[in-house]
Amino acid sequence: MTSPRIYLDNAATSFPKPEVVYAAVDQYQRELGCAVGRGSSAAATQVQSLVNQCRANLAELLGVPKPEHVLFAFNGTDALNLAIHGLLRPGDRVITTCWEHNSVLRPLKHLEALGVQTEFLAPNEQGTFSLDELQSLLEKPTRLVIFTHASNVTGCLQPIEQATRLAKDRGALVLIDAAQTAGHVPINFKDLGADALACPGHKGLLGPLGTGLLIIREGLEQELVPTRQGGTGTDSMSENQPTDLPARYESGNHNAVGLVGLRASSEWLLRRGVASIEKQVAELAELLESGLSSLPRVEVLGAGPKVGVVSISVPNIEPQVMASLLDQHFHIETRAGLHCAPRSHAALGTLELGGTVRFSIGPFTTANEIETAVEAVAQICAAM
């Protein structure tokens, strides 16, 4: 008899989704099927209403005063690219960290050719960065500071509240990558004081793949240049891109089926409460980290407050081999490799080892699954 599947790769994409998401997606595909903002039929009106509700739900969930400041993108990478390419100009200076995903690193590298300068905060032993170093770097004029809220490799939460205050005091814009925190920990965008926050809709927000969002503070639309122009279903006589929100940044057809699913997941999260999920995941992460740390040879990377992401390194066992054995023999799905964050692994000393094995927890993970995963790693280590 085959053992049940254990999914511990929620940092890549959440699974399973709440049942209401599957039902909403199925209803859209079978009964609606209309584009967003492209018709006045009863079905098209219903689709528009569902997408409007999705935007309102996310504004409530993430502490955004005006729903129109929640801009829909096609994933977290798309949202980050809009912010980075839309805000930076030739000659601008950017400060960021080594804990960033390639969704930040690669756009910044691309912009080097246009004269954008990037400086990286050095990592510390806790898996974060020094606020004193940030304050020092901010002595020079800086256009944009970019922080990940939590590392997708170690799960370590970064000191973004304090860092944001420091950056804003020096007149810099602040962009937060909340890919690993939105839906996992409570976020209040207004209180945070950042200029923009990007995240996917398919991770902690529990929506379908192909969804993402960029939240912008009021007034940032005066500085954020749209990176995509085209049809919006509004003001079609004009050849100029609309200036009103959110149409200014949402050219082309939306991923309607994805947003209908995201509306359902955001309602589920509002009912469940993100703080409740944070508590549950934290307890399971502590159980996982404690169990793995107790095993001979197993090193857990990163220290301090974390989200539900735990990465391990085991001498003499390549990460890809460990992940393959977990999958083939124990039906446990994890993620092995560099996790699109090479500078993080360089800081951790795992770059030459091929990265780490990453376990990531979601709201449907159970304590029994965590205990099974720890036992599986123990058996693999004992056999090798």
Q: Please tell me whether residues 187 and 249 are part of one structural domain.
A: yes
Would you say residue 194 lies in a domain? yes
Q: Please tell me whether residues 172 and 283 are part of one structural domain.
A: no
Whether the CB-CB separation of 301 and 336 falls below 8 Å is answered with no
Q: Please tell me whether residues 261 and 354 are part of one structural domain.
A: no
- Return the H-helix or E-strand segment holding 274: helix 274-293
242: DSSP letter: P
Domain limits for position 313: 274-383
Would you say residue 147 lies in a domain? yes
Whether the CB-CB separation of 64 and 215 falls below 8 Å is answered with yes
Q: Please tell me whether residues 278 and 260 are part of one structural domain.
A: no
Domain ends where: 255, 272, 289?
A: 272
Q: Please tell me whether residues 265 and 337 are part of one structural domain.
A: no
Torsion angles phi and psi, residue 166, rounded to 5: -60, -45
Q: Please tell me whether residues 210 and 305 are part of one structural domain.
A: no
Would you say residue 235 lies in a domain? yes
Q: Please tell me whether residues 331 and 186 are part of one structural domain.
A: no
Q: From 55, 20, 101, select the one nearest 245 (Cα to Cα).
A: 55
Would you say residue 6 lies in a domain? no
| Joined tokens for residue 253 | 């057809």
Domain ends where: 272, 303, 320?
A: 272
Inter-helix orientation angle 367-383/319-330, to 10°: 120
CATH for 98: 3.40.640.10
Q: How far apart are the first and last CA of the chain?
A: 25
Q: Tokens 């970019």 map to which residue?
A: 146
Q: Residue 379 in 3-state DSSP?
A: helix
Query: Would you give per-residue pLDDT tens digits along the chain (384 residues)?
Result: 567 899 999 999 999 999 999 999 999 999 998 989 887 899 989 999 999 999 999 999 999 999 999 999 999 999 999 999 999 999 999 999 999 999 999 999 999 999 999 999 999 988 999 999 999 999 999 999 999 999 999 999 999 999 999 999 999 999 999 999 999 999 999 999 999 999 999 999 999 999 999 999 999 999 999 999 998 888 888 998 889 999 999 999 999 999 999 999 999 999 999 999 999 999 999 999 999 999 999 999 999 899 999 999 999 999 999 999 999 999 999 999 999 999 999 999 999 999 999 999 999 999 999 999 999 999 999 998
Q: What are the start-end ranges of the E strands in 224-342?
A: 299-300, 309-313, 332-333, 335-337
**97 strand-pairing partners:** 121
Other beta carbons less than 10 A from residue 237's beta carbon? 4
User: CA–CA separation, 16 vs 29, rounded Å?
Assistant: 19
Q: Please tell me whether residues 257 and 335 are part of one structural domain.
A: no
Domain ends where: 212, 240, 272?
A: 272
Other beta carbons less than 10 A from residue 219's beta carbon? 10
Residues 6+ apart with CB under 8 A from 201: 75, 207, 208, 211, 212, 213, 258, 259, 262, 265
Would you say residue 10 lies in a domain? no
Q: From 214, 280, 225, select the one nearest 10 (Cα to Cα).
A: 280
Whether the CB-CB separation of 301 and 154 falls below 8 Å is answered with yes
Would you say residue 14 lies in a domain? no
Q: Please tell me whether residues 280 and 243 are part of one structural domain.
A: no
CATH for 348: 3.90.1150.10
Would you say residue 254 lies in a domain? yes
- pTM here is 0.96
Q: Please tell me whether residues 238 and 361 are part of one structural domain.
A: no
Would you say residue 335 lies in a domain? yes
Q: Please tell me whether residues 25 and 88 are part of one structural domain.
A: yes
Q: Please tell me whether residues 142 and 179 are part of one structural domain.
A: yes
Domains: count for the chain? 2
